[in-house]
Amino acid sequence: MGELRMTQLIDTYGRKHRNLRVSLTDRCSLRCTYCMPHDFAAWIPNEDLLTTDELLMIIEVGVNQGIDEVRLTGGEPLLRPDIVEIVERIAGLSNAPQLTLTTNGLRLKELAQPLAKAGLSRINISLDTLSRERFKTLTYRDRFNDVIEGLAAAKSAGLSPIKVNTVLLQGINDDEAPALLDWALENDYVLRFIEQMPLDAGGIWDRATMVSADQIFKELSLKYTLTPVDGRGSSPAEEFYVNGTASTVGIIGSVTRPFCGACDRLRLTSDGQLRSCLFSITETDVRKVLRDVDLDDSAKRAEIAARFQKTVISKLPGHGINDPSFIAPPRPMSAIGG
């Protein structure tokens, strides 16, 4: 493996890629309306999902090319039965990357402690409303209390700073921005609003009704003084200090304030396809390499490394959502990994 270490994942625009988002499954325990329709059924076939050994080989090859953060996501990553083992094995790699996870939080009550013990560094938990009724309307599941308990479990497991991801939808929860921030500050969670993106399986996204970063900023500014935090780096969130304190709130303007110029992320889908962007319309197949019976492990690693390079080289300068010629990717966010 030493021979592969020298190669870095640098694209034709000079962006160095250090962050790999790994989707562990496309299945989910919620049906957030902006993500998938309540009757969604177009799941990836089980036999196409990567095994844990296959996942580990790809991640290790990535780490040997300079990946230093791996974010586990989905679908709902905590539905993967061997999630604790996956975390433990990634954390046990030599040159282990920072290991983070994005979850809807439903299974955290039982899993936060084992995940922290297995080597998880940080966690993002998604919650869009403080109302149990609205949660039910938004997700088609009556599981609000499980998320709240999951958040508390993550905190007591020492997974702080806990980031909370919120998507605002016009006429549904867009009146909750200040209340959500009050709640996050009280509980010591770091709140980040994400603009709704055209990546849902049901195709409900509409530019005319999406709640923009500017709107969120204006709404919060009615109640709080927000001061920009310098040094954003490759972070998708624009961060603001709240009322002159050290507490911050983030706004991720993926659509109206794209941050592609500093992007350092690559993505691996649960069926073994490498992607250079959430919005890519092409993918590089690494599952095929892993399952090629004519290759030994060393040949597989070399070919996977080459496919990482191919993916990076193909990366476009930006996602192009705002171009008239924009084409949404054929897969929804839940199958790519958010």
Choose which of 62, 74, 250, 253 interacts with ligand SAM (CB under 6 A): 74
Q: Does residue 311 bind ligand SAM (CB under 6 A)?
A: no
- Close Cβ partners of 16 (under 8 Å, ≥ 6 residues apart): 8, 9, 10, 66, 264
The distance of closest approach from Cβ of residue 83 to ligand SF4 in the complex, given in angstroms and rounded to an integer, is 15
Question: Contact 17/266 with Cβ under 8 angstroms?
Answer: yes
Contact 280, 317 (CB under 8 A): no
Strand partners, 275: 267
Which residues are bridge partners to 20 per DSSP? Answer: 70, 266
Instruction: Give me the DSSP letters along 148-160.
Output: HHHHHHHHHTT-P
Report the distance separating Cα 323 and Cα 153, nearest Å. 43
Asked if residue 35 binds ligand SF4 (CB under 6 A), the reply is yes
Name the β-bridge partners of 164: 125, 191
Q: Candidates 9, 20, 24, 30: give the one binding ligand SF4 (CB under 6 A).
A: 30
Q: Considering only residues 106-165, where is the footprint of ligand SAM by CB under 6 A?
A: 126, 165
Asked if 31 interacts with ligand SF4 (CB under 6 A), we say yes
Q: Which does 127 bind (CB under 5 to 8 A by kind): ligand SF4, ligand SAM, none?
A: none
169 interacts with ligand SAM by CB under 6 A: no
Sheet with strand 19-23: strands edge to edge:
226-228, 238-242, 248-252, 190-194, 163-167, 122-126, 98-103, 69-73, 19-23, 265-268, 273-275, 284-285
Q: Which amino acid is at 102?
A: T
Whole-angstrom distance, CA of residue 17 vs CA of residue 104: 26
Output phi, psi for 49, to 5 deg: -70, 140
Task: Give the one entry of ligand SF4, ligand SAM, none that residue 196 binds, where binding means its C-beta sits below a cut-off of 5 to 8 angstroms depending on kind.
Answer: ligand SAM
Query: Of these, 106, 167, 180, 277, which contacts ligand SAM (CB under 6 A)?
Result: 167
CB of 198 to ligand SAM, least distance (A): 7
Nearer to ligand SAM, 60 or 76 (CB): 76
Indicate which single residue of 9, 20, 22, 36 sits in contact with ligand SF4 (rule: CB under 6 A): 36
Convert residues 103-142 into a mask of x (bound to ligand SF4 by CB under 6 A) and - (unbound).
Answer: -x---------------------x----------------
Look at the block and give the residue holding tokens 């009556």: 142
From ligand SAM, ligand SF4, none, which one binds at residue 73 (CB under 5 to 8 Å depending on kind)?
ligand SAM
Cα 19 to Cα 24: distance, rounded to the nearest angstrom: 16
Choose between 74 and 97: whose C-beta lies nearer to ligand SF4.
Answer: 74
Binding partner at 31 among ligand SAM, ligand SF4, none, C-beta below 5 to 8 Å by kind = ligand SF4
When CB distances to ligand SAM are compared, the closest residue is 338
Contacting positions for ligand SF4 (CB under 6 A): 28, 30-32, 35-36, 74-76, 104, 126, 334
Point out which residues bind ligand SAM (CB under 6 A). 28, 34-35, 73-74, 76, 102-104, 126, 165, 167, 194, 196-197, 199-200, 333-334, 338
